[in-house]
Structure 1
Amino acid sequence: MLSATIEGIGFWSRGLPSWEAARAFATGGALPESTPSRPSPQLLAPNERRRAPDTVAVALEVALAACNAAGRDPKTLPSVFASTHGELAITDYICTTLATQPETVSPTRFHNSVHNAAAGYWTIGSGAMQPATAISAYDASFAQGLLEALVQLATGNEAVLLVGYDATSAGPLAHVSPSGGLLGGALVLSRTPRAGAPRLQVELVDGEVERAPAGPLARHAGGNAMAPMLPLFDALAATRTPSPVALQAGPGRVLRVAIEAAITEHAHA
């Protein structure tokens, strides 16, 4: 059994550009009237911000929001970035260009195609010198990222940043592994209980994730490849004590997540 305190949460999807908006939608069904079509991560210089792929933009947006909510300096945190596809639109561009005009491949797009592109932009933008891990495990990507972050806590790190993100898939690969919209979620996890912060208790077990009614966030952004993380965010958004959550962790494997309510100052003392 692994455990952690959730010190800060970041969230972004089209129509819900913050965790505050996501919680309001999950509990009351209200969508903001006007929202941006994509994030504008403030960690990047304006030119880099405009050129950054959607996946990088959403990953950095939610990562910084989670750090701010936790009151943690981003440069002090090791990080785990989990994505099913990475930047699949650029992968499709590179494959198409290599098959038709290989001499015209863009070096800029090439360096944005690697799976650790978001982690690289994050460490540069935040000035972080701590280790950064990039993980892909198909529909188990978020669960495996969460497991990696919790293991890092259990083996000595005081706090870890976890980021899950994916964008719209493109080209022939979209028929094999579809994904729609833009979605990102981030958690700052720590070893130490903190007043006002919920805690996770996590166990990896054999089995299959049972189908259950989708929550509001899962219905809103369920077409994205990172949607397997949304039951956890729906549970965190709930005003009542949340039920345990089961996350797909691989073939025949389930990550069971129990959420303890936020502790009070008296209980913390």
Structure 2
Amino acid sequence: MSRLPEINVLGIGAWTDGLPDWASLRAFARGEGGRIEGAPKRPSPTMLPANERRRAPDSVLLALDVAQAACSAAGADPSELASVFTSTHGDLAITHYMCETLSGTPTDVSPTRFHNSVHNAAAGYWTIGVGCHQPATAISAFDASFGQGLIEAALQLACDTDRVLLVAYDSFAVGPVAHTSRSAGLFGFALVLGRADGLGNGTTLKLDLQQGSVPPAHGALIEAVAANAMGPAAVLAQALAGGDARCTLDAGNGSLLAIEIGHD
């Protein structure tokens, strides 16, 4: 058992198919609303110029959209925040394109798609787009990617920063890759986190790293995004939306992250 410092949730951003913001996701999770007819098919972060939005892959648009929304909800200047970007697979559609092109006509690889294929592509777009010179971390831990991202953010808060942006996202798989690295649709979830003030203000998270297996979790939002590789993030999102007192995340290697939630 290893208890991490208590942290505050200062702002939330979220996006999935038919639910393009945290307000609609929260209502859906509570059973108070459904998917929105005519909702945008792709995220559209306003921080990017229109020509950049057209060129950027869905995974980057998704990450930037939820990151921007979380910062806005927190009233935080994004240029001043350290960030942790966590994704299970990065962009699987680009991975498929790269493999297919390299196996057939390797000299035809697009330079733009190549630079979007790296795992820290979204973090790079973000820091350049908002003019941020604070540290940016990009990680992956397969099914434990969200749990490990939250642990990383909490440890950064414990060590040397007052606030940190956590961005979790995954996009869809295509081609042969979809048989081994399964993911459907788009799901992104972002939190601006801060050190808890000890006064019980705001939503708080108490994180406890333990050995053990993660019990199954249920809820409308959890089931709705279960096919996406970042589905585990919906466990915390569902708990925050529903006012639950606790939830459990996979932390990898036979460990779990038990979370006690204090709601404001």
* TM-score (ref. length: structure 2): 0.95
**Which residue of structure 2 lines up, in the alignment, with residue 9 of structure 1?**
12
**Please, which of 215, 226, 250 is the counterpart of residue 219 of structure 2?**
215
Partner of 1:201: 206
Q: Indicate the RMSD between aligned Cα atoms, in angstroms.
A: 1.2
Query: Counterparts of 1:244 and 1:20 in 2: how far apart (Å)?
Result: 21
Q: Of 66, 73, 78, which residue of structure 1 is paired with 2:70?
A: 66
Q: Aligned residue for 2:257?
A: 255
* Structure 1 counterpart of 2:109, from 105, 110, 113: 105
The amino acid of 1:215's aligned partner reads: G
Q: Deviations over 1:53-95 (max 9, x none)?
A: 0000010000000000000000000000000000111111111
Aligned-partner Cα distance in 1 for 2:45–2:240:
24
Distance across 2 between alignment mates of 1:27 and 1:227? 17
2:120 aligns with one of 116, 120, 136: 116
Shift of 1:28: 2.9
Match of 2:147 among 124, 143, 146: 143
SS of the aligned residue for 1:180 comes to: coil
| Secondary structure at the counterpart of residue 192 of structure 2 | strand
Cα distance in structure 2, aligned partners of 1:84 and 1:260: 28
Q: 1:185 aligns with which of 179, 183, 189?
A: 189
Does residue 79 of structure 1 match 2:83?
yes
* 1:93-113 residue CA offsets vs partner (Å, 9 max, x unmatched): 111111100010000000000
One of 221, 244, 247 as aligned partner of 1:245:
247
Q: Any idea what SS the aligned residue of 2:30 has?
A: helix
Letter in 1 for 2:107: E
* Secondary structure at the counterpart of residue 142 of structure 2: coil
Corresponding residue SS for 1:227: coil
Superposition map of 1:16-95 within 5 A: 16-31=19-34, 32-95=36-99
Aligned counterparts, 1:217-232, within 5 A: 217-232=221-236
CA distance in structure 1 between the partners assigned to 2:181 and 2:259 by the alignment: 26
Q: Does 1:159 align with 2:163?
A: yes
Q: C-alpha separation between the residues in 2 aligned to 1:199 and 1:129?
A: 27
After TM superposition, where is structure 1 displaced by more than 4 Å over at least 4 residues in a row?
Answer: none
Is the 1:158–1:192 contact (alpha carbons within 8 Å) kept by the matching residues of 2? no
Post-superposition offset of 1:126: 0.7
Q: Counterpart of 1:200 in 2: which secondary structure?
A: strand
Give the conservation status (yes or no) of the 8 Å contact 2:245–2:262: no
TM-score calculated relative to the size of structure 1: 0.94
Amino acid at match of 2:210: V
Q: Is the 8 A contact 1:246 1:257 kept in 2?
A: yes
Q: Hey, what's the Cα distance between the residues in 1 that align with 2:126 and 2:226?
A: 26
Q: Distance in 2 between matches of 1:33 and 1:195?
A: 39
Gaps of 5+ in 2: none
Q: Quote the offset at 1:195 in angstroms.
A: 7.5
**For structure 1, which runs of at least 5 residues remain unmatched after alignment?**
263-269
